[in-house]
Structure 1
Amino acid sequence: MSEVVVSHRWIAQVLKQRGIPVPDIKVLEVAVAQCSEEIRARLLNAVTLIERGTEEAGDIEWVRGILKAPAQKARKVSPDHEHPPFVVSAAPVPPQATEPRLDRAQFQEKRRLAEVPGGTVVPVRRVKHHIYASKAALTIELDTLRQQPGEEDVVRTVLIEAAVTTSGSGYDWERKIPFQLMRRELPIVACALLGLLDRPLAIENHGPERNKSLRIEQQGSKLFVKVSQGSRSIALPVDCSDAYAWNAIVLQALQLNAPSLSDSLQLQLIHRVAEMMNHTPTK
């Protein structure tokens, strides 16, 4: 069997692209050199998955552990993630509420009317923000949930659409993965984007087939975001300015759904939600 070769410079490049703290290049070189053949093979596979954005929970922590402890090259490292994510399931909610509106075309105009306290009708912009990375892109858009029979109030939400790059210079929006947040998920996503959660956030069981998920994880100076549908996953890093724009749209949806609340009270409620979630025991 040929020797497994892993470039420490390639590892450093992959981790930097994902916003993961990287040891000094010399330390990294020594750490990789002192790994056993078995650990090097596993390291090669784990970093490859991280580069593609398809790693399993615990892979990043395992890689960081190996690189921080080169002297313990033969030690057995648990694949379990040090901080398992918060998992929010959409199962109790009707499936039609988890998909973009079928009549969504009527909301594509740049402005529409909305009623604010006092009965005044004012135009509301349909806010959209694009997030571009080298291998994928996201659109974050203020959206409207489908009204169920008997409902009168219009409920705002946020629609996330993910697409991969094409062979040219564009993105494959024809095969995008849409992910519409439910009303109860808006404050939780705000918590994640504001950095208030002590663990990654995973929202699961979306879509008619319950096979869509969204993962948001803080990794160094960036957020790592993964949108999945079945076996397909689209992942990309989100920098601070894009995270701000995304969070601004989420906060706007929350404000439109509860216009009687002041901005400060809205933030207090979001902090309270984060506090409660951080006390949720891990499974």
Structure 2
Amino acid sequence: MNAEQHQHQHQHQQGSGITLAQINELLNGAGFPIINPQRVQALQDLAPRERIIRAIKAAKHDVGARKFLSGLFQEAGITLNPAAPVHGGYQSPSAPQQAAVPQQAAVPQQAAVPQQPQPPTASSPGSGHQNSYNGNDHGNGGHGNDAPRMNPEDRKSVHVYGGKAALCFEADITKGGVPTIALDAASSTAPRQYDWSRKVRLQMTRHELPVVAAVLLGVMPSCEFKNHGQDNSKGFSIERQQGGKVYIKVFAKNEGVRGVPVMAADVFYVTSLLLRQIQKSNPWLDGTSLMSLIKATQYHQ
């Protein structure tokens, strides 16, 4: 180790109580490539240092932490191992761990992990208010070429169909690498038909996610957010109704309002997808802690 690397590792240990060698040991144990000081800096340019360290420490046994790190590594241009354990479990390497070097070191091939089962599809589009939960997208939704890449298996979506419009809640990621929800609204053109080619699409911000979750969980009665889109002309609102239902409206300039009443059973699937995205950004929280925190922080808003 040269003097510059030694000084960098010493500063790293002072700042977080963990050395670069220890970080690489944890990464290797979770199936991730080891990193050098330059890649450490690239990661810190995308997310807070302490958050990265917490995720690295939890990655071996925490699915959310691994998914967070996978997205962060891809955003930083670090190639992941071909079979990194995204869904859990790991194997001990068949060769000794090498010390950090300027170029990326190879990590032994991991065993293939079975794909996570898909939630059941509630129904197909039709009259009334129906839900479909799947991992397919019905269009690029206006994603720019500079947007972070998502693994296809992470792009889950929930469709809710009404008489005059339909909504799609889709797992997405912001340009800053934060997991979020994209909301699409399409108008009905005929019974059981919706014009997704002229959909209105917006992306929820990280500050809106816990508020929306609070409404869906019944902590708050309603919420409304505007100023979405490049010209700040889009927005959406959610209002709770009797019987566990919610009414969701998406509006945009020159597009009118597209509203869909969402039945209680469908609210469950929308809420589960929303909480899944929030938990990706907070992998140290389990489901119970996440819901308790949402109720505690959003109750008085």
The bucket for the TM-score relative to the shorter chain is: 0.5 to 0.7
Say whether 1:209 aligns with 2:199: no
Q: In the alignment, is the contact (CA less than 8 A) between 2:163 and 2:191 conserved in 1?
A: no
Structure 1: which 4+ aligned runs deviate by more than 6 Å? none
Q: State the superposition RMSD in angstroms.
A: 2.3
User: How far, CA to CA, are the matches of 1:110 and 1:246 in structure 2?
Assistant: 19
What's the offset of the Cα at 1:268?
1.6
Match of 1:101 in 2: 143
Which residue of structure 2 aligns with residue 227 of structure 1? 250
1:110 is aligned to 2:152: yes
Instruction: Describe the superposition over 1:68-97 as per-residue Cα deviations: whole angstroms up to 9, x where unpaired.
Output: xxxxxxxxxxxxxxxxxxxxxxxxxxxxxx
Which residue identity is paired with 1:204? K
Say if 2:170 is the partner of 1:141.
Answer: yes
Aligned pairs, number: 161
SS of match in other structure, 1:276: coil
Deviations 1:233-280 (A, max 9, x none): 101100011111111111001110010122222112100122231xxx
What does 1:84-233 correspond to in 2, within 5 Å?
101-103=143-145, 107=149, 110-111=152-153, 125-147=154-176, 154-167=177-190, 169-197=192-220, 199-221=221-243, 222-231=245-254, 232-233=256-257
Residue 249 of structure 1 aligns to a residue whose secondary structure is helix
Q: How far apart, CA to CA, are the structure 1 residues paired with 2:148 and 2:192?
A: 30
Question: Normalization by structure 2: what TM-score?
Answer: 0.50
Q: Deviations over 1:123-150 (max 9, x none)?
A: xx32111111111101111101012xxx
Question: Which residue number in structure 1 is paired with residue 281 of structure 2?
Answer: 257
Aligned to 1:267: 291
Partners of 1:246 and 1:190 in 2: how far apart? 9
Please state whether the residue corresponding to 2:189 is helix, strand or coil.
Answer: coil
Query: Contact 2:146 / 2:175 at 8 angstroms: preserved in 1?
Result: no
Q: Is the 8 A contact 1:223 1:238 kept in 2?
A: yes
Distance change >3 Å, CA 185–CA 140, structure 1 → 2: same
- Structure 1: tracts of 5 or more residues without a match: 1-16, 19-98, 112-124, 148-153, 278-283
Structure 2: where are the runs of 5+ without partners? 1-127, 130-140
